[in-house]
């Protein structure tokens, strides 16, 4: 039986976990600025999240939460990934690296969709590379598993059986809405986000957020 109240609880909890700047969000923003394979990237993020939420709601999340060894592995692995990614973003901000797809060439800034785009590119197999990149950013980030499989799975599994479908639908809707909105906004605001000063700020904010999340994961 569908419950609007439980659906909103799943939507709210899912949004609170997915909206903070993280590896997936930063990758979607980069893809939006680049203007290449945005729909593919957003769709892959949504499918990965929905699949992991379903896995957590199947009872696997509760199993992980009840296993100190598995939980510790997820926690330490997630913290290590977040620490590495955060330091990488801070280093990029410190160096003043150009925003993806806006590298300078002999004729000035290149068109993000043009043939000289160093990261988006029009090379053969570009879609395959883009898909591999977003899957790596999603599936190699243990923090994604902590949010979807462990946290959402544990909370959803604690609900009455008739309410679990509503909670799951809400959490999945949060993923669909957020990544779609983020990809659209990043593409629309590419001219602003691609400015060197703004991009350095994005990288710095991402890096600091990652380090804070790493600390929170270790304290959990």
Q: Would you list the domain boundaries of the chain?
A: 4-219
Given a contact cutoff of 8 angstroms between Cβ atoms, the answer to whether 119 and 34 are in contact is yes
Task: For 137-169, write each residue's pLDDT tens digit.
Answer: 888 777 787 788 878 887 887 788 888 899 999
Cα distance between residue 188 and residue 33, in whole Å: 8
Mention every residue, 6+ apart, whose C-beta is less than 8 A from residue 65. 71, 150, 153, 154
Q: Output the pLDDT for position 116.
A: 36
Q: Output the pLDDT for position 171.
A: 94
| Alpha helices in 56-67, H assignment, sequence order | 61-65
Cα distance between residue 166 and residue 156, in whole Å: 9
Average pLDDT over the chain reads 78
pLDDT: which is higher, 107 or 166: 166
Counting every residue written for the chain, the total comes to: 220
Task: For 78-94, write each residue's pLDDT tens digit.
Answer: 778 778 878 888 888 88
């Amino acid at each position: 039986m569908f419950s609007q109240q439980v659906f909103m609880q799943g939507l709210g909890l899912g949004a609170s976990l997915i909206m903070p700047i993280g590896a997936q969000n930063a990758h979607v923003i980069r893809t939006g600025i680049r203007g290449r394979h945005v729909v593919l990237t957003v769709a892959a993020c949504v499918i990965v999240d929905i699949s992991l939420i379903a896995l957590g709601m199947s009872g696997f999340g509760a199993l992980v939460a009840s296993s100190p060894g598995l939980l510790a592995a997820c926690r330490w692995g997630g913290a290590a990934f977040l620490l590495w990614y955060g330091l990488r973003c801070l280093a990029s901000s410190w160096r003043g690296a150009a925003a993806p797809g806006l590298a300078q060439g002999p004729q000035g800034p290149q068109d993000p969709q043009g043939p000289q785009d160093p990261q988006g590119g029009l090379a053969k197999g570009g879609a395959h590379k883009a898909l591999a990149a977003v899957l790596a950013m999603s599936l190699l980030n243990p923090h994604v598993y902590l949010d979807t499989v462990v946290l959402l799975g544990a909370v959803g599994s604690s609900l009455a059986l008739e309410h679990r479908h509503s909670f799951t639908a809400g959490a999945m809707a949060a993923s669909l809405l957020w990544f779609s909105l983020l990809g659209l906004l990043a593409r629309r605001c590419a001219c602003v986000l691609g400015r060197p000063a703004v991009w350095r700020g994005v990288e710095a904010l991402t890096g600091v957020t990652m380090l804070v999340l790493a600390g929170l994961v270790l304290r959990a």
